[in-house]
Amino acid sequence: MSAIDPVTLEILWTRLVSAVDEAAATFVRTSFSTLVREANDYAVVLTDRKGRNVAQSSQSIPSFISTMPVTIRHFIETFGTQNMREGDAFITNDPWIGTGHLNDASLAIPIFRDGIVIGFAGVVSHLPDVGGRLRNAANRELFEEGLQIPPMRILDGGKPQELLIQIIRANVRVPDETMGDIWAQIACCTTLADRLNVLIDETGIDFDGFADEVITRTGKAMQEAIAAVPDGTYRYVIENDGPAEMPGGIIRIACSVTVAGDRIAVDYTGSSDQVSLAINTVANYTFAYSAYALKALFAPWIPNNEGSFAAIAVTAPEGSILNPTKPAPCGARGMIGHLLPPAIFGALAPVLPDRVQASPGSPSNNVQLASLRGNVRYAINAFIGAGQGAGLMQDGTSAISFPSNLSNTPIEVLESQAPIEVKHRRIRRGSGGRGARNGGDGISFAFEMYGESPAIASFMVNRVRRPAGGLAGGEPGAAARFEINGKPTEPSGQYVLRQGDTVLIETAGGGGFGKPNG
């Protein structure tokens, strides 16, 4: 295919992204869980026949941008495109070939034209439940964390695989919600496949040639942006809450970023070893959040596709917390993985001071509750934002989930789905770190249980022992707090809450940037 002129390429690209966004809207409309409708914990991706990312939904979780194509390439390797047929749908939640924990289901369908696979429609989403112990950092084995689904067909030529469906339903607390979201994923992918074929019908586009063109152009733009930064190796270390039994209860993330011409490499040698708690971060997830940070720093204006990440290499020692060996527990991997962007920002601050920001207070704060409400079983999962780190030109934003792009679950939704009364949820004023630019404030969130049935409760609250650090002389944000019935409590673990029990979560503030004035 000859090179596409820039105007035509932009028109086709815009239409393609619109098709992916339409598929994402289908997913949101047909899903059952608040994780999709309220928290936006999903992403939709279109790949070419090789599994290269061509386009993604505008509303996406950054980590899923890079992981879904990896999963599709595993489907291709496992099943072979020559053995695929129309109506097939493939699913897995294997952390090492997916998103890094069992809670996310990665599902894809092959897109056919004239009987030949021309691409794949994929969607990854956090399921309402996967069984096992509720997700928290205290889980010590992958086997505790829920049902494992290896790469499998869930539709075979359009026929549902009833045995797999029965196994899923038998192993989760809310089977209707969980399978409802999986069927919504299939509807999403089917919509995207239809829209791609309509686009080809109307424009005559050679999809293979278009994919090559947009990926090549994007890759060149990213390489040019990298080449504008002085060559060198830049280092930074972040310390974060870790297992209480570790010396000081601290996890170390050692980040080394090397710029060499138009290539960039991130290495995490010197980081903590993997641990027997569920904060390990598998290699796919480590690459995803590292690549996201570099894309945001170097070329945020270019399309998100395979070309955005071709010049990036990410390594971490095998057996480390950022490249654990299977079957390490990893359900709460965001508590560490979400710290990779600020580690990279810290490393590159000397050469990109106007683009970086201080550390956020928001790595994966979360509450989960499961029990009975009357005769109906519920399982809710609510994310809680915190303070964003400040940058050279702006204060940090308050009450957001950076870098994960998750939304705070509305109070009305929480109270309608579980027997809790929210006492307050408000900005934790003054919790952001002081600086020439102040860090964003965290959230203060309190609720009381009133259900007659005791509830299993699981929490992920980060930065209790190590607050978010500042940059360029900025001060750290306030540390997080976690209390049950007015008593400070270790947030990593699973608890039983009874009628009248109260919970207080105060998320951390973001770090300040620059020395405070006065």
In tens, the pLDDT along 481-507 reads 999 999 999 888 889 999 999 999 999
State yes or no: pLDDT of 217 exceeds 80. yes
Asked whether residue 277 is assigned to any structural domain, the reply reads no
Q: Taking residues 285-312, what's their average pLDDT?
A: 95
Count how many domains the chain has: 2
Cα→Cα distances 22→17, 59, 66, Å: 9, 11, 20
* Degrees, nearest 5: CA angle 370-373-376: 90
Cα–Cα distance between 340 and 390 in angstroms, integer?
16
Asked whether residue 378 is assigned to any structural domain, the reply reads yes
State yes or no: pLDDT of 1 exceeds 50. no
Asked whether residue 273 is assigned to any structural domain, the reply reads no
pLDDT of 244 reads: 67
State yes or no: pLDDT of 249 exceeds 80. no
pLDDT of 174 reads: 96
- At 406-433, the pLDDT tens digits run 888 899 999 999 999 999 999 999 999 9
Helix (H, G, I), strand (E, B) or coil at 390: coil
Q: Taking residues 28-52, what's their average pLDDT?
A: 93
Domain boundary among 217, 234, 262: 217
Cα–Cα distance between 387 and 400 in angstroms, integer?
6
State yes or no: pLDDT of 246 exceeds 90. no
Element (H, E) at 162: helix 162-171
Asked whether residue 119 is assigned to any structural domain, the reply reads yes
Asked whether residue 345 is assigned to any structural domain, the reply reads no
pLDDT of 493 reads: 81
Q: Do residues 503 and 366 lie in contact, with contact meaning Cβ atoms separated by under 8 Å?
A: no
Q: Of 239-253, 316-330, 350-364, 385-399, where does mean pLDDT reach its minimum? A: 239-253
DSSP notation for 228-260: TSPPEEEEEEEEEE--TTSGGGEEEEEEEEEEE
Domain boundary among 217, 240, 268: 217
pLDDT of 518 reads: 65
- At 192-204, the pLDDT tens digits run 999 999 999 999 9
- 348 is written with which tokens? 């590159």
Asked whether residue 408 is assigned to any structural domain, the reply reads yes
pLDDT of 241 reads: 83
Q: Taking residues 3-9, what's their average pLDDT?
A: 83
- At 115-158, the pLDDT tens digits run 999 999 999 999 999 999 999 898 999 999 999 999 999 999 99
Cα→Cα distances 107→46, 58, 74, 104, Å: 12, 18, 12, 10
Q: Which residue has the tokens 């952390």?
A: 95
Asked whether residue 423 is assigned to any structural domain, the reply reads yes
Domain boundary among 166, 190, 217: 217
Q: Do residues 392 and 515 lie in contact, with contact meaning Cβ atoms separated by under 8 Å?
A: no
As a whole number, the mean pLDDT across the chain is 94
Phi, psi of 325 (to 5 degrees): -90, 145
361 closest CA partner among 438, 290, 439 = 439
Give the residues across from 456 on adjacent strands: 370, 496
- At 429-460, the pLDDT tens digits run 999 999 999 999 999 999 999 988 999 999 99
Task: Tell me which residue range forms the domain holding 35.
Answer: 6-217
Asked whether residue 117 is assigned to any structural domain, the reply reads yes
Cα–Cα distance between 191 and 467 in angstroms, integer?
44
pLDDT confidence band for 273 (50 / 70 / 90): very high
Q: Taking residues 158-172, what's their average pLDDT?
A: 98
